[in-house]
Amino acid sequence: MRVLLIVGGWSGEREVSLSGGKQIQKSLEELGHEVDVFDPALEFKELFARAKACGFAFINLHGVPGEDGLIQALLEQAGCPYQGSGPKASFLAISKASAKMALESAGVPTPRWELLTRSGDELPADFPFPVFVKPDRGGSSLAVGRVETPDELNQALRAVFSGHEAALVECAAEGPEVTCSVLGDEALPLILIKPAQARFFDYHCKYAPGGAQEICPAPIDPEMTRRVQELSLLVHHTLGLTGYSRSDFIIENGAPIFLEVNTLPGMTPTSLLPQSAAQAGRSFTKLIGELMELGLSHFSSPSRLHPGSQA
């Protein structure tokens, strides 16, 4: 099959996308596919023609475009199946505030939060510190900062607003961080994340050699493992995600607290999802093949659309 491998893009996570794309291309070729590498930052107007010439698209974009559902909507318009979640679910999940609203209504515990915009919104007077300040739509922990006191908040907000329209401010949950990937309808083994020096799992920890220790399976008790896996599946299904996702949690005072979900998890060989898949008996190449199978199966369903992709 001819596969359109979509990598790069124009977000701050471009280099991460390109890095993962090299290994995905190798695996697709090992599976016998012909690969057409497509970078929307350089060739955007060619997307329809290139997609129509392929039997499948594998999306490895991070941030916008990619995780916001735009590329998925265009691929559906072109009639080209792809892996992962559809336009509506992707659009809902990329906004941390919107996802938290939907998930709180489903009973998923999350830290107290507020959405602040450039219009001058302020935190309620009783909002407790320390807090994390994050772009509402963004990933890889870019522009994320921990703020200890109200006096430091404006500086952190300025850092976010320099490149984003809205900021999520949430109370800092304290405790070990774990992440759980979902593949199909299966929750994979958990990973415990221990940053080497930083106070949280920031961009440097995620991508610098030795930046963090990632232990899989996570050395936590079976009951807690099951609870995190159950919550990860609840997140996945509540937001209408398909194919795969990865949810991050802090275990605070013996209870898992949801942080955020990633609809297009990193796909370098050392990324978190491939590590969990390997622990579950799937090589990187087998994982790529399974994601393609899930995408093709979903696209061939009677509606030929992902859940919620129609307004």
Q: Which residues are catalytic?
A: 13, 140, 207, 246, 248, 260, 262, 266
Rounded-to-integer distance, Cα 201 and Cα 191, Å: 13
Whether 31 and 288 have beta carbons less than 8 Å apart is answered as: yes
Q: Strand, coil or helix: what is 75?
A: helix
CA dihedral 225, 230, 235, 236 (to 10 degrees): 100
* Unique residue bearing structure tokens 């579950």: 280
Rounded-to-integer distance, Cα 44 and Cα 26, Å: 23
Question: In sequence order, what are the beta bridge partners of 4?
Answer: 36, 57
Rounded-to-integer distance, Cα 36 and Cα 15, Å: 19
Rounded-to-integer distance, Cα 266 and Cα 59, Å: 11
Rounded-to-integer distance, Cα 256 and Cα 134, Å: 20
Rounded-to-integer distance, Cα 110 and Cα 256, Å: 9
Q: Locate all alpha helices (DSSP H) within the chain, ordered by sequence.
A: 14-30, 40-43, 47-52, 70-78, 87-94, 96-105, 153-161, 203-207, 222-238, 272-279, 284-299
